Structure 1
């Protein structure tokens, strides 16, 4: 069968080809009556927009690239990323736009991302888990393609708009709670110290404990469960009488719980454990995890909203910082 064309849609809708073209290219001034007739005609004829032809007219690709600056395996291990992906796919679909996922875990990956964006294949860039000093960020900014980040890009906070949860206050909430529970020797496992979550959650911890937050009570992880296991083991070796630990992500906290279990430490009787995120992991650990809920879906929505505004030529307010909530379960 012959593939339906824009002329077929116009004939079925009883409008001019120009009216159909204006609607397909996002013209807001097509009348409601014409819009309904055209949408019905598209459904009846089975017409599909030729994106290559549209791009020649609009100078838009109809796609956004999401760049995760982590090793490939983290995309599938950390449930937080799936929230961002689902939200972006839904919101972009409402604009008839597609999402392209790229992982920038090493120099070769980063070079491919830069070439892809420089090649004019994306209308915008969504940055996830970007690390300080990443040369890819400056290269992407130089392309002039609109870019936003979920979480601040350290050192580029005034260049790249972003949305985030209030990491520092969330860490304060958890640390204060552990203190209020009568815990005397509280340790922490941070995220990577070249990420905003790693830095700000440690800052919130030290805001509450002050001088009690000594170096021996601080260990570093990389957001993975395995790093939580090993960091907890190092803390127990160095501070065997610790009675609480604030872990900067639920996934790392799951690893910490595993190490404590193997060491024969009861949770929360011997050691209270607090996480951060309130991801799907938190309710499935044993015991269920007391954690800090960051509104992941709302952060994702605000991040995509910022990017769409930039693509439309607007200068949106940034940053967008959303509040966190303490969620008490059985681990603390």
Structure 2
């Protein structure tokens, strides 16, 4: 009987194996793995083909020792945890940023920082540059996370316009004010005379700008501003319902409402239905976002579409550029009116 000797596992391919297969130097392979700077197109193609053939996988720990980078970035949520599951916009942005970073082979780390205790816990992690940068998402423009990131010397990009607009902070935002103007003009041109609004918080992204867009069109069309037609929510479904009830009590003759988010608009639709009014016959409803909520409501929601994929792509592009040494930048993207059944 012959003894059977188990086969030893084949060692994983190394950077030297890739260089030999591609017929280039180890340094050329290293430069390709770090972005391809100063590498000819032919050598780049040869290295890519060798990596695919050998099944080479980058050793991120080793790369970090050489580049002094973590090789990952953070999706930093300066919000209560439940918002990630309740707000469809955040889920869309998380998916979009993950996809955009995957094209650069950069993992995304989700970090919750909605409470002071959480911020204290993550401060040493960020200060030690355990990630190379952060994509910051929050509903309060004055979030303390901005100060924390600046103190850590970590590149970051905000989703939405920060309170500090000095030019030292990168952000990507939809054109909230012009989007609100577009919706209001649509409602006025449809013959609506008493248009209310449910605004977002003034210190949150889009809150003050969307309210200002509402007022701009009232002035433009010579319609008197009536503070009874303005309510302020917190972008939640419950606040939209509560605000709509208040508006119907204060101004029962209103015939349209511009709501600063689809989630609040869904709550407003519920309040209108419970009040025995119909949409859009009695009251037209316009939202903002074009989130998944907009097509799930009954009736479906006329709204302003934010370009979520472009926002994700631009945030990632800006952050990677900052990591490479570029300065802060601002991007303002256009919105688009999407007409459905509610107005």
Into which bin does the TM-score normalised by the smaller protein fall? over 0.9
In structure 1, the partner of 2:266 is 254
1:227-278 per-residue CA deviation (whole Å, 9 max, x = no partner) reads 2111111212222222111100111101110111111110011111110111
Q: 2:286 aligns with which of 270, 274, 291?
A: 274
Question: Matches of residues 67-106 of structure 1 in structure 2 within 5 Å?
Answer: 67-106=76-115
In structure 2, the partner of 1:37 is 46
The answer on 1:192 being equivalent to 2:201 is yes
TM-score, normalised by the number of residues in structure 2: 0.90
Q: Distance in 2 between matches of 1:185 and 1:236?
A: 12
- Structure 1 counterpart SS, 2:192: coil
In structure 2, the partner of 1:5 is 14
The answer on 1:328 being equivalent to 2:339 is yes
The alpha carbon displacement at 1:157 in A equals 4.8
- Gaps of at least 5 residues in structure 1 are none
Matched residue count: 331
Q: Distance in 2 between matches of 1:173 and 1:17?
A: 57
- Structure 2 counterpart SS, 1:110: helix
The alpha carbon displacement at 1:110 in A equals 2.4
1:68-126 per-residue CA deviation (whole Å, 9 max, x = no partner) reads 22211111222222332222222212222111112222212222343321121111111
The alpha carbon displacement at 1:329 in A equals 1.6
The alpha carbon displacement at 1:51 in A equals 0.9
Q: 1:228 aligns with which of 240, 255, 258?
A: 240
In structure 1, the partner of 2:231 is 219
**Does structure 1 conserve the Cα–Cα contact (< 8 Å) formed by 2:100 and 2:312?**
no
Q: 1:309 aligns with which of 314, 321, 327?
A: 321
The answer on 1:57 being equivalent to 2:66 is yes
**Does structure 1 conserve the Cα–Cα contact (< 8 Å) formed by 2:36 and 2:44?**
no
The alpha carbon displacement at 1:167 in A equals 0.3
Question: Aligned Cα RMSD in Å?
Answer: 1.8
- Gaps of at least 5 residues in structure 2 are 1-8
Task: Answer with 99-108 or 241-250: which moved more.
Answer: 99-108
**Does structure 2 conserve the Cα–Cα contact (< 8 Å) formed by 1:69 and 1:104?**
yes
Q: 2:143 aligns with which of 134, 141, 144?
A: 134
TM-score, normalised by the number of residues in structure 1: 0.93
